[in-house]
Amino acid sequence: MSAQEEVRPPLPPFTRTSAIEKVRLAEDGWNSRDPQRVSLAYTLDTNWRNRAEFAHNREEAKQFLTRKWAKELDYRLIKELWAFTDNRIAVRYAYEWHDDSGNWFRSYGNENWEFDENGLMANRFACINDMPIKESERKFHWPLGRRPDDHPGLSELGL
């Protein structure tokens, strides 16, 4: 299958149910911390703004993710649907991680996503703030990988 034929359900136009599913699939992918796997959810010519860094295609997005997860250790992410329209989804999220010196952070952010007709993300615009936390203040406690279904989400955690 060529890149132009790739399909990543659920597809737009989104309903509330399919938007929530798309958000959880994105969360699951990012919690894998696998740049190759995650990059396949984006169009070949995807455009990103992540903080002050820009990616203009899938390969640049993959390189960004590789750098990200080399720096942000023990990364655990929770995403939550904020709003949606036909082919766009807005999310809020938080993730916890530590650097190579053992300093912990909770990063808060918002993303705006735009999808093509095959369900691949064509545009991703992210705003993120990092807040230093003590290890004892962490709220995301699950084995690395997918967040368990019974783990509270952002709203339940008061974030």
Domain residue ranges of the chain, discontinuous segments joined by +: 16-142+149-157
69-115: pLDDT as tens digits:
999 999 999 999 999 999 999 999 999 999 999 999 999 999 999 99
CATH of 16-142+149-157, picked from 3.90.1010.10, 3.50.50.60, 3.10.450.50, 3.40.50.300, is: 3.10.450.50
Q: Of the candidates 46, 118, 111, which has an alpha carbon nearest to the alpha carbon of residue 78?
A: 111
123-146: pLDDT as tens digits:
999 999 999 999 999 999 999 999
The amino acid that residue 151 corresponds to is H
Query: How far is Cα 111 from Cα 81, in angstroms, rounded to an integer?
Result: 10
Query: How far is Cα 64 from Cα 55, in angstroms, rounded to an integer?
Result: 8
For residues 35-62, average pLDDT = 97
Q: Over 60: is that where the pLDDT of 1 sits?
A: no
Predicted local confidence at residue 39, as pLDDT? 97
Residue 94 structure tokens: 């938080």
What is the model's pTM? 0.95
